[in-house]
């Protein structure tokens, strides 16, 4: 039993050390940048969903709006997609991004409700 615990501790330590040593590629957005971009995307999608548009028209409009969001953030859609792929392969970091995103959206909603 003690041997099994030591093996588990060793594997956890090795995983932690290798994960901490990994650098984020230069063409991947930071967690903070991801939160900012995703915040704008979610708000824009919420606004679009309030419009009574046919599904295909809403999709076309969403692409245009997303392109403008990415341009204002100074990134391309391919950088956003690479960043999403990068963080999808790292569930812990993705969870941090979405936790921060939820907090940011809730704060934004609270501010909007204030007179």
- Do 34 and 83 contact (CB within 8 A), yes or no? yes
Task: Please tell me which residue, 22 or 15, carries the higher pLDDT value.
Answer: 22
* Residue 48 to residue 40: CA distance in whole angstroms: 12
* Residue 80 to residue 38: CA distance in whole angstroms: 9
**DSSP string covering 12-74, please?**
HHHHHHHHHHPPPPTTS--HHHHHHHHHHHHHHHHHHHTS---HHHHHHHHHHHHHHHHHHHT
* Residue 109 to residue 13: CA distance in whole angstroms: 40
Confidence of residue 43 (pLDDT cuts 50, 70, 90): very high
pLDDT number for residue 20: 56
Indicate the average pLDDT of the chain.
Answer: 86
The domain spans of the chain are 26-113
């Amino acid at each position: 039993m003690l041997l099994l615990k030591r093996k588990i501790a060793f594997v956890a330590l090795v995983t932690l050390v290798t994960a901490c040593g990994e650098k984020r590629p230069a063409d991947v957005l930071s967690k903070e940048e991801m939160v900012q971009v995703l915040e704008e995307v979610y708000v824009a999608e919420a606004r679009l969903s309030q419009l009574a548009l046919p599904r295909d028209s809403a999709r076309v409009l969403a692409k245009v709006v997303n392109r403008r969001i990415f341009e204002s953030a100074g990134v391309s859609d391919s950088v956003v997609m690479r960043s999403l792929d990068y963080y999808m392969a790292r569930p812990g970091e993705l969870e941090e991004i979405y936790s921060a995103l939820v907090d940011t959206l809730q704060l934004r909603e609270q501010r909007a409700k204030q007179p």
